[in-house]
Amino acid sequence: MRVLVAMSGGVDSSVAAALLVEQGHDVVGATLKLWGGESDSGCCSVADVEDARRVAQQLGMEHHVFNLTDEFERHVVAPYVGEHARGRTPNPCIECNRSMKFDRLLQRADRMGFDRLATGHHARVTGGDEDGRPMRLRRGADAAKDQSYVLSMLDQHALARVVFPVGEMTKDEVRARAQRLCLRTASKPDSQDVCFIGRAQGREGFLTGRIALHPAEVVDADGLPAGSVDAVELVTVGQRRGMGHGTDGARRYVTHVDVGTRRVVVGSAADVLRPSVLLAAPTLTWVDAPLSSGARAVAQVSAHGRAVPCTVELGRDGAVVRFDDPQRAVAPGQTVALYDDREPDAVVGAGIVG
Amino acid sequence: MVGMTTTYLDHAATTPLRPEVAAAMAEVHSAPLGNPTGSHPPAQRARRMLEEARDEVAAVLGRDPGEIVFTSGGTEAANLAVLGTLEAAVHDGRDAVVLASAVEHPAVLESCRAAARDGADVRELPVDHAGVLDLDALARALSPRCTLVAVMAANNETGVVQPLAAVVDAVRRRAPEASVFSDAVQAAAFCDLAELTAGVDLVGVTAHKVGGPVGIGALAAAPGVVLEARQFGGGQERERRSGTQDVAGAVGLATALRLAAADRAATASRVAALRDRLADCLVAAVPGAHRTVPPDVEVLAGHLHVCLPGVEREELLVGLAAQGVCVSGGSSCASGALEPSHVLSAMGVPAEVAVGAVRFTLGHDTSDADVDRALTIVPEVVATLRRSA
């Protein structure tokens, strides 16, 4: 097979490339230049491109750099900023996977005659050609590093054309393999942050230059004053940090954010629990067939969150995910990934909290 | 990749080392070589070869040997020309006012930006849709306050040759105190630099664009032009550029320039004929393809800049590289990612057209077979990319 492997300059995609080369495929590496602005968080930097290129050289592969900065700005950064301005909490890494890696890059791979697009994600794909069953997106073998959540928007069309070579490996195995191959990325730390937001400036520093941030009053459930915040646009439902303690001495959580009236409502840990969450209809995606209304499933509400059992009800507005046990509120803009009730390592679909 | 036929059409990026140059450089190290500033025989040998090289470089550029400052290449020559003259002006109590064409190489534009950060008044001069400097705009921008005017001899991306004689004339009339700097890095392979840059105060060249090694270049500075050093130390190169001189490099530069000058006319017409055949056949074979620079504009013999609508140059370059056809998509940033071209944007080429623009550059070693091979592969790769779009 001719495989285009997206190489970030990290250890996972380095080993992904190495495995494909070992398997005898015709492999070409590509590093995406996504963020054109300043950043100290490491991702997309010249140093990362150099690392990816050096690994490709060591593996005897061709390597190219694709400049997608304009598209990244339009499809990831601008929506991220816009969502915050509306008081929502977007996940830019998911949008990057959706609109950059598994859309634009995948199309590009198709045009250039590649059979598959590979990435270093920790996830697995099963089914498809060999047994005629639909393809399934499954959790990676390393539970702690599983990335199926950030890939949960992939459908049959995409799954048929992607390959995740390190999905069967643990992170330790990946690093050991890189070490054995003397790849310079072997002990590089994992990336943690949003690539276009510098560690020093943070989310607030980044957004300050792009949207107006407004102070807001903080009130309790009865509308009584409970403090203030500098930027209502940066407050997230469910947030505990910075909200202090109630008169009873218990921690307070954000239960509601209203950018329009510049009001943040806080309450107790119990007040922030929700029996259900609505995933907006236009954002729903299904790996294969949609769940039938009333179906049982397992929900994951953040990248490394716990998977919790639920029932999914489909309606005109979208999918209501009814948790068996009430859960801490999930902020609007966040993605909920739904996994199969009987095979809980398999993603069935995803949606964004409305 | 090993064993694949390579069709090298990226001479504007760098040229293969001419065997005669390699031999001349090896000769430098065939006997004990001292530091040219020393007094013993090996040092005197080094000094002699360095000065012979300086004489040869000066002869090709039509300058006196004393005008030649050896540098590490074109970028250093541009930095020294821009920052060295501005610094000298400031020391002299004059204003630092620079005019630079909008299509200058980043070595010039970024030097100007560095000067601007230090307070210099920097203005970019527009070009027309063909990429030729707008002489009216130059005339309007010139004033007796001007310190330096930077206009390249020929553009690295498009190959467009700039009207240097008219530039010099305008500067002399309207800004008699100003120096003219011309980056002649690209022009050196095919143009008579003595003729092309006559009257220009500062001229920069580099060896690796004319069949010489990377790492050596020169700046010619006319008598009367004061250059403040940008690099300090032992005061070599008449206090204009410190550091032990690279004798083998200087010999390489001199040999390469001499060889290029020796068969210039014949090579230029042969390469231009190959280039025109490549252009005509490409335009005929690829629907919608057109030359970026109109045919009535003077372009370097080896340059062919074409727009291939409906393809992304990044994808085209990957497809061509896979078959060993080496061309360029324009300027890259430090990561190697292609950047939108400031040259095409200054020419007013729309972004959607520029995205499919590629540069073929032929050189003295380009053959009919290279052109044939490019003509077989390029239309095929373009068709494949368009089919699957």
Of B262, B295, B320, the last residue of a domain is B262
Pair A278, A340 in one domain: yes
Of B247, B262, B277, the last residue of a domain is B262
**Which CATH number characterizes residue B153's domain?**
3.40.640.10
Pair B222, B112 in one domain: yes
A133 pLDDT exceeds 90?
no
Using one digit for the tens of pLDDT, what is the confidence trace for A159-181? 999 999 999 999 999 999 999 99
Q: Binning pLDDT at 50, 70 and 90, where does residue B2 land?
A: low
Of B1, B315, B337, the CB nearest to A112: B315
Alpha carbon of A27: minimum distance to chain B alpha carbons (Å): 11
d(CA A151, CA A5): 16
Q: Which of A96, A333, A133, A143 is nearest to A234 (CA)?
A: A333
A36 pLDDT exceeds 90?
no
How many domains, in total, are found in chain B?
2
Using one digit for the tens of pLDDT, what is the confidence trace for B103-146? 999 999 999 999 999 999 999 999 999 999 999 999 999 999 99
Q: What integer best gives the mean pLDDT of chain A?
A: 93
Residue A114 has what DSSP assignment?
-
Q: Give me the residue label for tokens 């054309």.
A: A161
The residue among B2, B308, B312, B318 with the most chain A CBs within 10 A of its CB, best to mutate, is B318
Percentage of chain A lying above the pLDDT 70 cut: 97
Percentage of chain B lying above the pLDDT 70 cut: 99
Using one digit for the tens of pLDDT, what is the confidence trace for B250-309? 999 999 999 999 999 999 999 999 999 999 999 999 999 999 999 999 999 999 999 999
Contact present, B121 and B97 (Cβ < 8 Å)? yes
Helix (H) or strand (E) holding A15: helix A11-22
What length is written for chain A? 354
Mean pLDDT confidence for A19-31: 97
Question: Quick one: pLDDT at residue A343?
Answer: 95
Quick check: is B2 in a domain? no
Q: Which domain holds residue A332?
A: 273-352
Q: Please count the residue pairs, one from chain A and one from chain B, whose beta carbons lie less than 8 angstroms apart.
A: 51
Quick check: is A149 in a domain? no
Of A267, A294, A312, the last residue of a domain is A267
Using one digit for the tens of pLDDT, what is the confidence trace for B85-109? 999 999 999 999 999 999 999 999 9
Its pTM stands at: 0.86
Pair B166, B196 in one domain: yes
d(CA A46, CA B215): 23
Alpha carbon of B3: minimum distance to chain A alpha carbons (Å): 13
Contacts of B339 in chain A (CB under 8 A): 67
| Alpha helix ranges (H) inside chain B | 19-28, 41-61, 74-91, 106-117, 135-141, 164-174, 193-196, 247-262, 264-285, 313-322, 342-346, 351-354, 368-387
Neighbours of A293 (CB within 10 A): 12
Instruction: Kindly give the interhelix angle for B264-285 and B247-262, rounded to the nearest 10 degrees.
Output: 80
Q: Which of A330, A297, A331, A301 is nearest to A311 (CA)?
A: A297
Contact present, A88 and A332 (Cβ < 8 Å)? yes
Pair B269, B258 in one domain: no
Quick check: is B1 in a domain? no
Pair A231, A293 in one domain: no
**Which CATH number characterizes residue A43's domain?**
3.40.50.620
Of B315, B334, B335, the CB nearest to A111: B315
Catalytic residue list contains B307: no
Using one digit for the tens of pLDDT, what is the confidence trace for B176-233? 999 999 999 999 999 999 999 999 999 999 999 999 999 999 999 999 999 999 999 9
Record the tokens describing residue B208, joined without a space.
């690796």
The residue among B335, B355, B382 with the most chain A CBs within 10 A of its CB, best to mutate, is B335
Question: Quick one: pLDDT at residue A132?
Answer: 77
Question: Quick one: pLDDT at residue A130?
Answer: 65
Contact present, B301 and B268 (Cβ < 8 Å)? yes
Q: Which domain holds residue B383?
A: 7-16+264-387
d(CA A267, CA A273): 10
Pair A344, A221 in one domain: no
- Sheet with B68-71, edge to edge strand ranges: B68-71, B217-221, B202-206, B179-183, B148-150, B97-101, B121-125
How many domains, in total, are found in chain A?
3
Pair B171, B257 in one domain: yes
- Residue B350 gets the label, from left (phi > 0), alpha (psi -120 to 50) or beta, of beta
Q: Which of A328, A327, A299 is nearest to A311 (CA)?
A: A299
